[in-house]
Structure 1
Amino acid sequence: MNEKQKTIVIFDDDEDILSICSYILEEQGWQVHTFTDCNNITDKVSAISPDVILMDNWIPDAGGIIATQTLKKDEVLKNIPVVYFSANSDIQLLADHAGAETYLAKPFDLEELEKVINSVLVKTINS
């Protein structure tokens, strides 16, 4: 089986969330890259070229909305699905405003995390 390993980038300044998500996703066979800020985001994402991006709303320095919009303006990176995640009650509005494909409210359970990531992967494969 020579399938390319699925790669995900997680932007979150909460180390606990990064380690939990990394652990779960690595168990599922993902290659996980994490960043605690979104500075030089296009360089970071270009270097990895992930299948999916998880974006926290309160990521330093610019914040998740600007970070996501920056990616969506980039010709090469704009088709990478972004899952916006936040504990903010307006998460759906924030995700729409950012241009993210979908969102995940914190706190989330791990099944939900997997379901959301797999749903954007399927859409990407089928588009």
Structure 2
Amino acid sequence: MKEPQKKIIIFDDDEDILSICSYILEEQGWEVHSFTNCNNIIDKVSPILPDVILMDNWIPDAGGIVATQTLKKTEALKHIPVIYFSANSDIQMLANNAGAETYLAKPFDLEELERVIKNVLITN
């Protein structure tokens, strides 16, 4: 029996990051969904129910912190691990404020991306 495909949502307004991450993750067998804003985030995430969410800090309109907090307050979605990613030097504090499980500093290399996703899947 084939294992169901793992799903990930990437929220980032940088099209280059979306296309690179999507390509890498699809190569590894992920079903990738991406959005360039976090408006109506519950409506975006609910039908997909991903295994992991990658959340950019500076995403229109509300921003990553509010978007992550909204997810974490939603009963049906709060179990989904969020990896917060940003080029901010205080990313650890931002991720904590948002309620994200972990974070990834930009720029990151692809091994680091894979490692952080694997770790969050193991621990959640």
What's 2:7 paired with? 7
TM-score normalized with structure 2 length: 0.99
Q: Deviations along 1:8-54, whole A, 9 cap, x unmatched? A: 00000000000000000001110000000000001100010000000
State the alpha-carbon separation in 2 of the partners of residues 113 and 122 from structure 1: 14
2:53 is matched with: 53
Aligned pairs for 1:1-127 within 5 A: 1-124=1-124
Sequence identity (%): 81
CA distance in 2, matches of 1:43, 1:72: 14
One-letter amino acid of the counterpart of residue 12, structure 1? D
Q: Name stretches of at least 5 consecutive residues in structure 1 with no aligned partner.
A: none
TM-score normalized by structure 1? 0.97
Number of positions where the alignment pairs a residue of Structure 1 with one of Structure 2: 124
| Paired residue secondary structure (2:8) | strand
Moved over 3 A (4+): none
Give the superposition deviation at 1:123: 1.2
Q: Quick one: distance in 2 between partners of 1:28 and 1:48?
A: 19
